[in-house]
Amino acid sequence: MRIALIGYGKMGKEIEQQALEKDVQVTARFDSKNSDISKATHDFDVAVHFAAPGPVVRHVEACARAKKNMVIGTTGWTKDMGKVWSIVQDQDIGLVHATNFSVGVNIFFQMIKHSAKSFDRFVEYDVFVQETHHKDKADSPSGTALTIAEILMQRIKRKKELLNTPPTGRIKPEQLHVSSTRAGSVIGAHSVIFDSSADSIELTHNAKNRSGFALGALLAAEWVHGKQGIFTMEDVLSDVIP
């Protein structure tokens, strides 16, 4: 399979490194100075997007016109999702999107789903989320923390509202507090804490490097090749982990 890397920064280079070890050829690379994808669509089968949120719609349009499937790992473009979904559906291409492509994180999500379901019936337990990333991260809270918050609020009925700014006083019981720290060179750390006066249970995922994201993105690119529709990493993994 031939892939194009849209975004050739930290993630693009990590994906290229791992592609070398698999039967995947990187045949096109785009960055902010060379971003006209329409000129090179004959060169690849699937585009893997780890770039910036601003040009996502334009890049999806260019790939869709050429009937090229995509994997999008770029974060911070939720406001454009409606536009992207209609382009993908109108042009019958395939897209896998995820705020976190790490296989470990996606299994971590499954663990959170299971725990949240159990704690839903025990009002004695409060729940909160903490995340830490390197000082250069553009978005806050992280896309992964927002996904975790969504998972929790869908399963713990007493948590109805996301609080992701520093509280100015007592927080309301229905608020789910998600706190973010930006410091140093931390690749990505996420914790979900279920806390009561009796005990505290903490689930933590620590990314040690970017290789887990790259592995998942390549797995998704191979999986989506030849498919049509909008998918998440959960769909990809449910084929691998029934």
The residue within the footprint of ligand NAP, chosen from 25, 35, 140, 191 (CB under 6 A), is 35
The residue within the footprint of ligand NAP, chosen from 10, 65, 158, 182 (CB under 6 A), is 10
Round to whole Å and give the CA distance between 168 and 128: 17
* Only segment of 69-77, 176-184, 222-230, 234-242 that touches ligand NAP (CB under 6 A): 69-77
**Smaller CB distance to ligand NAP: residue 2 or 29?**
29
The residue within the footprint of ligand NAP, chosen from 3, 11, 71, 145 (CB under 6 A), is 11
Is 109 a binder of ligand NAP (CB under 6 A)?
no
* Only segment of 8-16, 19-27, 80-88, 109-117 that touches ligand NAP (CB under 6 A): 8-16
Round to whole Å and give the CA distance between 221 and 242: 19
Is 8 a binder of ligand NAP (CB under 6 A)?
yes
Q: Alpha helix (H) ranges present in 120-210?
A: 143-155
**Smaller CB distance to ligand NAP: residue 7 or 141?**
7
State the Rg of the chain over Cα.
19
Round to whole Å and give the CA distance between 132 and 182: 6
The residue within the footprint of ligand NAP, chosen from 69, 74, 130, 132 (CB under 6 A), is 74
Task: Considering the candidates 59, 68, 133, 190, report the single residue annotated as catalytic.
Answer: 133
C-alpha distances in angstroms, 168 versus 163, 172, 201?
11, 11, 26
Is 145 a binder of ligand NAP (CB under 6 A)?
no
Is 3 a binder of ligand NAP (CB under 6 A)?
no
Question: Which secondary-structure segment (H or E) carries 168?
Answer: none
Question: Which secondary-structure segment (H or E) carries 89?
Answer: helix 81-91
**Is 133 one of the annotated active-site residues of the chain?**
yes
Round to whole Å and give the CA distance between 124 and 200: 11
**Is 13 one of the annotated active-site residues of the chain?**
no
Round to whole Å and give the CA distance between 73 and 98: 6
Tokens for 226? 């030849």
The residue within the footprint of ligand NAP, chosen from 4, 63, 69, 73 (CB under 6 A), is 73
Is 31 a binder of ligand NAP (CB under 6 A)?
yes
**Smaller CB distance to ligand NAP: residue 75 or 132?**
75
Round to whole Å and give the CA distance between 229 and 93: 6
Catalytic residues: 133, 137
